[in-house]
Amino acid sequence: MALIDIGSTKQLFVDAYLIESLQNARRVLNPAEKAENNPVIRPDRPWEGNYLAPCNAFYDVREQTFKLWYSSATYKAYRKPSGELDYGPHDDDSQQHPGVVCLAVSRDGIQWEKPDLGLVEFQGSKRNNILPEESFLPYFFQDLHEQHPAKRYKGLVRKGTYGGKGMQFDLFFSPDAFHWTPYERNPVIETTGLGRWGPTVFHGWDSLRKVYYAHMENCAHRHCPLKKRLIGRAESPDMLRWSEPETIILPDAGDPPDLEFYYMASLIYEGLYVGLLCDFRTNRAAHHVEIAFSRDGAHYERGHREEAFVPRGPRGSFDASSLYPLDPIVHGGRILTYYLGVNWRSIETLFELGEKALGAVGLAVTPLDGFVSVEGGRLNPGELVTRSFGFTGRRLEVNAQPQLSDDGKQRCDLRVEILSGNHEPIPGFSVQEADPVTDASPAAVISWKGKCDLGELAGRTIRLRFLIKNARLCSFRFVD
């Protein structure tokens, strides 16, 4: 029996867990691609001011519709009589209903509509997408693990303030994310005396560890010995009993001294934890999104910390200063990351921008498995050899994407050789017999002289040797 048994689980190359060697090849980060129509939701209604912050987004399977909740406000900078600058959300002629929460819907996740909900009156009319205050909770998620129809959505309301003095969270249930019922024994989280819980994101059910989980700023908003924003994790078997938060990510010697982590969005994907860290450079007053990966939810590899997974936009764009991501959504062969994009972070920039100050909802898209890939050579093939493993299945599928060759055309040449545990090519599956993959495919079937059935190798310990030319290899898996 192999020491590593991958079964039929898809294998990504976000870390070196299954990589034995690389020659003329390297792992590369693939930044998410921003939508052409960004920002996908912008303030354009009288009640929306100049700042739209996405609160929650998910795909409603029953209605086959994307839904996104966002809050609105107007931010302006002004000078006090003393000459100092100050700012904040303001109630003025352009926003007579400050702090409202609204709903947007979409069929494809890219083109969004603001439906007339008919629920809240604004300037004498209910033709708007404003939600009643009692129908929105700041922390809620769609619980696909829940079997009870009245508890398909779970939300929490924070009481108290950050800063080390303690706060509480009350739990609520809903069948539709609009009508909420409080848990009869609230609060479910009491932080008084712990002094560690800061701003928190409740992500829902962890299908790997079989618990509910949350990431928080585990320093009570910088009120801890390190005086920095850190990332912690807490878990619960039932949303009622929560563990004490444990710090899992903090700046280290490889980071700039002014780096802090505002919070971390999260996605459980193909047996991995994908973390989207909101990196905050305090000296630059700017944020960007860094990607990190973990196999246990506690130890994260930040192998691409110097590169932004969702980079800030160029000067003049709506997301030129800061980005704040939501938990990504996997749907329709894509991974969708919605985020708040802002063109200011400091009060000085807000004052300089004046009427051009903007906060809006952006979208960044990643192909399936496309976070990190192994890039081969353009003239000579690159080589990736895996560690030895056992598997389940009869066919090998790979997700490979072509690169542009020197003549500007997309060409791909990827071949796979199967080796025994001691690195000898297995007859019938050598590189000389391998049929090349020449076109982009998220699930290209590998064959050797037309043969793709691997049933005779079942139960054996093998290695894979990938020869990669003008291609990026994202993943592989064995299927029946």
Of 37, 16, 36, the C-alpha closest to 26 is 16
Class of the CATH domain delimited by 5-29+373-479: mainly beta
- Which two tokens mark 423? 């690195």
Q: Is the pTM of this model over 0.85?
A: yes
Average pLDDT, integer, range 291-300: 97
Per-domain boundaries in the chain = 5-29+373-479, 33-370
Query: pLDDT at residue 359 above 50?
Result: yes
> What are 133-160's pLDDT values in tens digits?
889 988 899 999 999 999 999 999 988 8
Q: What is the mean pLDDT of residues 168-179?
A: 94
pLDDT on residue 165: 66
User: What is the DSSP track for 245-257?
Assistant: PEEEE---TTS-T
**pLDDT for the residue numbered 97:** 42
First vs last Cα of the chain: how many Å apart?
20
pLDDT of residue 83: 82
Residue of higher predicted confidence among 212 and 284: 212
Q: What is the pLDDT of residue 96?
A: 39
Say what the pLDDT of residue 228 is. Answer: 86
Instruction: Summarize pLDDT for 227-241 with one digit per residue, the tens.
Output: 888 999 999 999 999
CB-based burial, 376-413: b 16+ in 10 Å, e otherwise: bbbeebbbbbbebbbbebebbbbbbbbbeeeeeeebbb
238/235 Cα distance (integer angstroms): 9
Q: Which CATH architecture has domain 33-370?
A: 5 Propeller (2.115)
Instruction: Return the CA Rg of the chain.
Output: 25
